[in-house]
């Protein structure tokens, strides 16, 4: 089944403790992206990657890092999480012709206390 | 940066009613996409539009690509409780290298 898999689905952590949210897709998509969703603010892009070893900042990159060492994986790294990073996070992937839309993962709900 | 403005922000309707929502931009788009997000899940693509004036249906859903290429509309006929969720419009603005931007969504609530 074609899908984008995120892990974990839920995570509660403490301020300052480094964490990684994994994202993997099995569709051989070139394009991958991370979004955060907060009430009233819609989907805001954090980082995206056009292909392996190619990443770029989205609208809200501060406090986040990403890497794209393999085509299928695009982990999101929070080096020192803070409470304002409490949010619902989505990973998405798309083919070379992204006008056909993205496929989204099921989301990771992160709480930083 | 470029933005997509969706309206209304939220809707509360009775089961069986028709629904209309729209998405506008200050710049031209060559593609419009409509997504639905069920509670607790990721957005899922409903309809894609590629040509100005195009009208495309997916079951009870119909979407239109505005002739000015700066807007799009989504209609849901005879709503049912499972239509509940957030509806997002999205598109790749010019010069974006294909990156998609999303509207803030229209939250739909359906009363049985």
Residue A12 has pLDDT above 70, yes or no: yes
Cβ <8 Å between B42 and A104: yes
Q: Does residue B42 belong to the interface with chain A, where contact is any CB pair within 8 Å? A: yes
What residue in B sits closest to A48 (Cα-Cα)? B99
* DSSP-assigned beta bridge partners for residue B19: B76
Residue B35 has pLDDT above 90, yes or no: yes
The pLDDT tens digits of the residues spanning A54-103 come to: 999 988 999 999 999 999 999 999 999 999 999 999 999 988 665 668 89
Cβ <8 Å between A48 and B92: no
Nearest to B45 among A45, A101, A105 (CB): A101
Q: Are B9 and B104 in contact (CB under 8 A)?
A: yes
Residue B19 has pLDDT above 60, yes or no: yes
Average pLDDT over residues B74-90: 96
Separation of alpha carbons A6 and B110, rounded Å: 30
Separation of alpha carbons A55 and A93, rounded Å: 13
Separation of alpha carbons B92 and A24, rounded Å: 23
pLDDT of A25: 97
Chain A closest-CA separation from residue B90 CA (Å): 9
Interacting residues of B95 by C-beta distance below 8 A, sequence separation 6+:
none
The pLDDT tens digits of the residues spanning A17-64 come to: 999 999 999 999 999 999 999 988 889 999 999 899 999 998 899 999
For residue B44, the chain A residues in CB contact (below 8 A) are 104
pLDDT of A99: 63
Q: Is the dihedral of CA A74, A79, A85, A88 positive or negative?
A: positive
For residue B5, the chain A residues in CB contact (below 8 A) are none
Using pLDDT thresholds of 50, 70 and 90, give the confidence band for residue B94. Answer: confident
Q: Are A75 and A67 in contact (CB under 8 A)?
A: yes
Nearest to B50 among A40, A41, A99 (CB): A99
CA angle B59, B102, B28 (to 5 degrees): 90
User: b/e string for B66-82 if b means 16 or more Cβ within 10 A?
Assistant: beebebbbbbbeebeee
Closest CA relative to residue A75, chosen from A55, A59, A99: A55
pLDDT of A96: 67
Separation of alpha carbons B22 and B7, rounded Å: 6
pLDDT of B34: 96
Residue B95 has pLDDT above 80, yes or no: no
Mean pLDDT of chain B: 92
What residue in A sits closest to B33 (Cα-Cα)? A101
Cβ <8 Å between B35 and A40: no
The pLDDT tens digits of the residues spanning B99-110 come to: 788 999 999 999
Using pLDDT thresholds of 50, 70 and 90, give the confidence band for residue B3. Answer: confident
pLDDT of A95: 81
Sheet of strand A4-7: strand arrangement = A4-7, A19-25, A76-78, A65-66
Residue A9 has pLDDT above 90, yes or no: yes
């Amino acid at each position: 089944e074609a899908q984008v898999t995120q892990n974990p689905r839920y995570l509660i952590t403490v301020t300052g403790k480094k964490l990684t949210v994994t994202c993997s897709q099995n569709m051989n998509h070139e394009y991958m992206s991370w979004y955060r969703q907060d009430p009233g603010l819609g989907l805001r892009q954090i980082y995206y990657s056009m292909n392996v070893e190619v990443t770029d900042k989205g609208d809200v990159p501060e406090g986040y890092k990403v890497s794209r060492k393999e085509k299928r994986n695009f982990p999101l790294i929070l080096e020192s999480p803070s409470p304002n990073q409490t949010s619902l996070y989505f990973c998405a992937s798309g083919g070379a012709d992204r006008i056909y839309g993205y496929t989204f993962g099921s989301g990771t709900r992160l709480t930083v206390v | 940066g470029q933005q997509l403005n969706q309206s209304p922000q939220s809707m509360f309707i009775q089961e069986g009613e028709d629904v209309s929502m729209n998405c506008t931009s200050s710049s031209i788009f060559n593609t419009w996409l409509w997504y639905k997000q069920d509670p607790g899940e990721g957005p899922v693509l409903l309809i894609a539009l590629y040509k100005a004036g195009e009208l495309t249906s997916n079951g009870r859903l119909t979407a239109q690509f505005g002739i000015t290429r700066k807007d799009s509309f989504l209609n849901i006929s005879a709503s049912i409780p499972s239509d509940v969720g957030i509806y997002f419009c999205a598109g790749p603005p010019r010069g974006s290298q294909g990156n998609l931007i999303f509207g803030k969504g229209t939250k739909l609530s359906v009363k049985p």
